[in-house]
Structure formats: C-alpha cells, structure tokens
Amino acid sequence: MSKPMFDLDMGKMKDPAFRANMMNKVNSMAKLATDKLMCDPACQFQRKSEELKRKMVRAEEVQKDIPSIFKKREKDYYVFAKGIPYYENMMEERYDATGREILGRMLKKHKQQMAFLHEELQSYTSGTLYEKNISDLWKKYQREEKAYKLATLNMKNNIAISDRQSSYEDIETEKKTKTRNIVLFIYYFIVFVFLVYLIAKKRYTEIKLWCVFLFLLLFPILKTYILSSGTSMKEKIKSYINNVYLDDEDNCSDCDDENDAHGPAIVQ
C-alpha cells in the first residue's frame, strides 16, 4: 500500500502554524508545477546556467583562500553551459598561457643569472690575472733583492779590501817618508860636516869645493824635480849628453810620421 502524498493529521489542522506551513508547501508545489508548465527546456537550461554562473561568481570571491571550490564551480558552469570540449580547450589555452608566462619568468631569471655569472667569471678572470701579475712582480722583486744583496756584499768586500789596501799603502808610505826623512837628515848632516871641514881646513877659498858643496846642497831638490818630470835622472843625463831633447818627443813623433810618409832617412 503506497504512502499518500499528503499525510495529513486532521488533529493538527486546528493549529494555525501547522496550517500556515502546509499552505506554504502547497503554494510552492503549485508554483513549481506552474513554472514547469510555463518554462520549456531552453528556459530551464538558461536558468540552470545562470544559477551555476552565480555560484561560480560567488566562489571567485574566495578563490585565493579556497581555490578548489572555484575550480569545481567553474567546471560545473562551463561544462553545463558550453560543453566539455569548450571547457577542455579553455583550460588548455589557460594552461598554455600560464606555461608561457612561467617560461618567460624563468627565461628572464635565467638571463639575469647568466649575466651575473658572466660578471662573476670576468671578475674571477681579472682577479686571477691580477694575482698572476702580482706573483710575477713579487718574483721579480725577489730576484732583484737577491741581486742587490749580492752586489752590496761584493761592494762591502771591495770596500774592505780597498780599506786594507789603503791601510797598507798608508803604512808603506809612512815608512818610506820616515826612511826618506832619515836619509835626508843623514845626507844633510854629511853636507854640514863637509861645510865644517871646509871652514876648519880653511879651504873655503877654493871655488871647486864650494861648487861641490852647492851641488851636494841642491842635489835633493834637483833630483825631486827631475823625478817629478816623469824621466829618471839617468835618462835626463843621457839625453843632454847625446843632444836629444826628451821634451820634444811629440815633435819627434811628428818627424817620425813624416819620415814614414817620405820613406827612410838617408844616413850620411
């Protein structure tokens, strides 16, 4: 036995609230029946589409917080209103645009990173080259420092040797000077004795003896002059005896050049 559509409890009909509720239900059912009779399938499709669109718009407001609800409402609307192929094409285009956008951002970031790496590479290359130059310069300075130290050591050794040589020469010169002074003292003492001999023997009237005395007195001075001229006394004496003037060596050298130019001289 089927259950009746309206199970009315006649006892409750006396309650005004119950009767009002029942009247609302009856009115709703009547309105629904009237809408179905007056709205064709196209009208119903339009209403359903508008309702799904409103739900999608409301879900869009909470998309950031609850993205899954918006995706579901969006899919329900477009699948119902446009069909599955339209929805799939729309999502494909959207994914393609999103992918292009992501790819563009990644390419831009990649370019920035490559530019940064290029700058870092140049900086590293410059730093490596600078370090190599500094290392080469440091090695050059080390070699120069060693050369300077060696040169300084050699110079110190040369100075020490020169100082010792100068000291030896000074000592030798001092010895020679003392010896010379002693010899001169003895020599002039002998000359003084000779003078005393002339006076004591009363031979001061003899001119030859005075000539000898003057020669002995001036002999050291003459010897010094002769030696300072660069020629020994023996050579000077020989030159004057042989009538050869050593002071005219330059002129004689010119004469030799002329003799060489004109041929050997004829000895008579």
> Looking at the domain assignment, is residue 33 inside a domain?
yes
Would 38 be classed as within a structural domain? yes
Please check the confidence at residue 265 and state whether its pLDDT lies above 50: no
Two tokens at 91? 């999502």
Distance of CA 48 to the CA centre of its chain: 78
Please report the pLDDT score of residue 89 as a whole number.
92
User: What's the number of CA atoms in the CB half-sphere (13 Å) around residue 223?
Assistant: 8
Whether this prediction's pTM lies above 0.75 is answered by no
Better-predicted residue by pLDDT, 260 or 70: 70
Check if the beta carbon of residue 169 is closer than 8 Å to that of residue 175: no
Tokens of 227: 């030696």
Decide if 219 is inside a domain.
no
Mean pLDDT of the chain: 77
Mean pLDDT, range 71-86, rounded to an integer: 88
Confidence of residue 85 (pLDDT cuts 50, 70, 90): very high
- The count of domains in the chain is 1
Q: How far apart are CA 156 and CA 149, in angstroms?
A: 10
Q: Is residue 35 part of a domain?
A: yes
Domain annotation covers residue 59: yes
- Whether 85 maps to a domain, the answer reads yes
Distance CA 59, CA 73 (A): 7
Domain annotation covers residue 116: yes
Domain span holding position 100: 17-121
pLDDT of 1 over the 60 cut: no
Q: Is residue 55 in some structural domain?
A: yes
